C-alpha cells in the first residue's frame, strides 16, 4: 500500500534531524576554537581533527543504512538505532567543553562521533519510508527546515550562551537531542510492510558495484556531484569561525552568529526549495543552487575584509548584519536549493527495499567529501602562512566539478503515483 503524505508526521520526523543539526552546528562552530586556543593545534591538525567525525561516519553509516533495511523489530527497522545512538551522543556531547586534557577531549569527541554515526542514516531514511516519491522533495524540505531551526538555535542563541559560558551551547545541544529523540519515538510509526522487488537482501557494496557498472550513469554522476559540492561546503564550514576571527577580525561568537544568518535563510528556503524542485525539476534546481553558492564563495574571497565587515543593519535575533552576512544569507538560499533536492534524487533512483542502502550511499559520498575538504583546506591554510581567506577560493573549483556531473544526470525526478 502506498503511504500517504502527512505534513504533520513529516514535521514531527523533522525533530530527529533537528537534533542532529543542533549537535553538528555547535560542534563545527566551537570545537575548532577549542583546538586552536585551548590545545594550540596547527591548522592542518585542526582540519584533520574536524574530519574524525566523517571518518567514523564513513566506516559506520553506510553499513548501518543497509543493516536497517534488513532489520525487523516490533518498533521498526530504524528506531532501535535512534534509541541507542542518540542518548549516548547527547551525554558525550555535554562533556566535551569540560575537558582540559587533550586525551579526554578526544575520548569525548570519539564517543560522540561513533554514536552519531549509529543513528544518523536510519533517522534520515525514515523520511522516504513514510513519504510517497512525488512528495519527497517537499518532505525533505520540511525536515531540513527543522534541521535549519536547530542550526539557528545553535548559532544565534548558542553564541549568546557561549559568551556566558563556553559549555552552555553544548549542554543546550544535549538537552535538545534527548527531547528530539523522544518526539520521534512517541509520534512516528514506521510502516509494517516493505516492497520486495527481488530476493536479494540490501547490501551496500553490491549496490555500489551496481551503480558503478550501470550503463546509464545518472546514479554515479549524482553521487560524484554530491561528493564535489560537499568537499566545497564542508571545507568552509569547518574553518568559518577561524576565518571570521583571523581574516575578518571578528569575535568567536560573531563568527557563529554569521553562520546563524546563513542557517536562517536556509530555513526560510527549505520548504520553497522542495516546492521549486517539484515544480521545475530537482536537477535544474540543484544546478541553480550550485552556481549561486559558488558565486557567494568567490565574493567572500575577492571582496576586501574591511568591506565585508561594514555593518548594514542591526536586527532582532540576528544582531549585526554586515556585508558578509548578506552574502551568507544568499549562500543559505543556494544551499537549500542543492541540499533539499539531492537526497530525494538519490532514493528515487532505486526501489523501496533499498532506500536505506541508497541513503547509505548518499552518506558514503558526502562523508568522503567531508573528510577530504577540511584536510585539504587545513594544509592549504598552513602552507600559506595561515591565510584563512583561501577557504573561499577552494570551494568554487569543486562546485564547478559538481555542475559538470549534474549536466549528465537523467534520472531522479519525482515518480508518478501508480496506485
Write the DSSP string, 134-167.
GGHHHHHHHHHHHHHHHHHIIIIIHHHHHHH-TT
Q: What span, in angstroms and rounded, lies between the C-alpha atoms of 362 and 342?
A: 9
pLDDT value, residue 249: 92
Q: Is the pLDDT of residue 270 over 90?
A: no
What pTM was computed for the model?
A: 0.73
3-class secondary structure, 51: coil
User: Does 110 fall in a domain?
Assistant: yes
Does residue 42 lie within any of the structural domains? Answer: yes
Tell me 414's DSSP state.
P
101-160 pLDDT tens trace = 999 999 999 899 888 888 877 887 787 777 877 777 778 778 878 888 888 888 888 888
What tens digit of pLDDT does each residue of 52-80 get?
A: 877 877 777 778 877 887 888 888 888 88
Binning pLDDT at 50, 70 and 90, where does residue 300 land? Answer: very high
Which pLDDT value is given to residue 328?
94
User: What pLDDT does 335 receive?
Assistant: 94
Q: Is the pLDDT of residue 47 over 90?
A: no
Between 92 and 142, the more confident residue is 92
**Quick one: what percent of the chain has pLDDT higher than 90?**
30
pLDDT tens digits, one per residue of 189-223: 877 665 544 444 456 677 788 788 878 888 899 99
Whether residue 248 is contained in a domain is answered as: yes
Provide the grid cell at 350. 532505486
Domain assignment present for 417: no
Q: Flag whether 3 is in a domain.
A: no
195 found inside a domain? no
Q: What's the rounded Cα separation, in Å, for the pair 120 and 24?
A: 11
Q: Among positive and negative, which fits the CA dihedral 94, 100, 102, 104?
A: negative
Q: What is the pLDDT of residue 419?
A: 40
- Judge whether residue 407 has pLDDT over 90: yes
- Residue 414, judged by CB atoms within 10 A of its CB (0-12, 13-18, 19+), counts as buried
Furthest C-alpha separation in the chain: 62
**Portion of the chain with pLDDT greater than 70, in percent:** 93
Residue 69, C-alpha cell as written in the block:
533495511
Q: Which residues contact 302 (CB under 8 A, 6 or more apart)?
A: none
Q: For residue 288, give Cα distances in angstroms to 117, 331, 387, 402.
A: 31, 12, 30, 12
User: What average pLDDT does range 359-384 have in this prediction?
Assistant: 84
DSSP H helices in 303-354: 305-308, 323-347
**Distance (Å, whole) CA 284 – CA 208:** 25
Number of domains in the chain: 1
Q: Which 3 state secondary structure label does DSSP give 245?
A: helix
The pLDDT score that the predictor gives to residue 170 is 95
* Domain of 22, in residue numbers: 10-188+202-407
Measured in residues, the chain has a length of 419
Alpha-carbon distance 399 to 331, whole Å? Answer: 13
DSSP alpha helices (H): ranges in 188-322?
204-213, 218-246, 252-280, 282-302, 305-308
Whole-angstrom Cα distance, residue 402 to residue 408? 11
Q: What is the CATH number of the domain that holds 229?
A: 1.20.1250.20
- Domain membership flag for residue 5: no
Average pLDDT score over the chain: 85
pLDDT of residue 197: 44
- pLDDT-based confidence at 382, cuts 50/70/90? confident
Question: Residue 408 corresponds to which cell in the numbers above?
Answer: 549528465
In a domain, 414, yes or no: no
pLDDT digits (tens, 9 = 90+) for 10-25: 888 888 888 888 898 8
pLDDT the model gives residue 199 = 45
Amino acid at each position: 500500500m502506498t503511504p500517504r503524505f502527512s505534513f504533520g508526521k513529516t514535521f514531527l520526523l523533522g525533530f530527529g534531524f533537528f537534533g542532529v543539526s543542533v549537535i553538528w552546528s555547535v560542534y563545527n562552530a566551537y570545537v575548532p576554537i577549542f583546538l586552536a586556543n585551548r590545545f594550540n593545534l596547527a591548522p592542518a591538525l585542526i582540519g584533520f581533527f574536524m574530519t574524525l567525525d566523517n571518518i567514523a561516519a564513513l566506516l559506520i553509516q553506510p553499513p548501518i543504512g543497509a543493516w536497517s533495511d534488513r532489520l525487523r523489530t516490533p518498533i521498526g527497522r530504524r528506531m532501535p538505532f535512534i534509541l541507542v545512538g542518540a542518548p549516548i551522543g547527547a551525554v558525550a556531547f555535554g562533556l566535551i567543553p569540560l575537558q582540559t586534557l587533550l586525551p579526554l577531549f578526544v575520548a569525548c569527541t570519539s564517543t560522540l562521533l561513533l554514536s552519531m554515526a549509529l543513528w544518523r542514516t536510519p533517522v534520515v531514511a525514515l523520511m522516504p519510508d513514510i513519504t510517497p516519491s512525488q512528495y519527497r522533495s517537499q518532505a525533505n524540505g520540511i525536515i531540513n527546515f527543522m534541521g535549519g531551526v536547530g542550526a539557528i538555535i545553535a548559532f544565534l542563541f548558542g553564541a549568546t550562551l557561549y559568551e556566558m559560558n563556553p559549555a552552555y551551547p553544548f549542554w543546550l545541544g544535549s538537552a535538545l537531542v534527548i527531547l528530539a529523540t523522544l518526539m520521534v519515538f512517541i509520534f512516528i510509526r514506521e510502516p509494517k510492510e516493505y516492497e520486495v522487488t527481488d530476493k536479494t537482501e540490501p547490501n551496500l557494496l553490491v549496490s555500489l558495484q551496481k551503480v558503478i557498472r550501470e550503463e546509464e550513469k545518472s546514479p554515479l554522476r549524482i553521487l560524484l556531484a554530491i561528493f564535489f559540492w560537499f568537499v566545497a561546503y564542508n571545507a568552509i564550514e569547518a574553518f568559518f569561525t577561524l576565518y571570521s576571527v583571523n581574516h575578518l577580525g571578528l569575535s568567536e561568537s560573531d563568527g557563529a552568529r554569521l553562520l546563524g544568518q546563513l542557517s536562517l535563510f536556509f530555513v526560510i528556503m527549505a520548504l520553497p526549495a522542495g516546492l521549486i524542485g517539484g515544480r521545475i525539476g530537482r536537477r535544474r534546481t540543484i544546478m541553480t543552487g550550485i552556481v549561486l553558492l559558488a558565486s557567494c564563495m568567490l565574493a567572500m574571497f575577492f571582496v576586501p575584509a574591511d568591506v565585508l565587515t561594514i555593518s548594514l543593519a542591526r536586527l532582532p535575533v540576528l544582531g549585526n548584519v554586515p556585508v558578509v552576512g548578506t552574502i551568507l544569507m544568499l549562500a543559505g538560499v543556494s544551499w537549500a536549493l542543492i541540499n533539499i533536492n539531492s537526497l530525494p534524487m538519490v532514493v528515487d533512483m532505486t526501489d523501496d527495499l533499498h532506500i536505506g542502502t541508497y541513503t547509505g550511499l548518499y552518506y558514503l559520498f558526502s562523508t568522503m567529501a567531508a573528510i577530504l575538504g577540511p584536510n585539504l583546506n587545513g594544509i592549504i591554510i598552513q602552507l600559506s602562512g595561515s591565510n584563512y581567506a583561501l577557504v573561499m577560493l577552494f570551494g568554487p573549483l569543486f562546485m564547478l566539478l559538481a555542475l559538470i556531473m549534474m549536466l549528465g544526470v537523467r534520472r531522479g525526478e519525482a515518480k508518478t503515483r501508480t496506485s
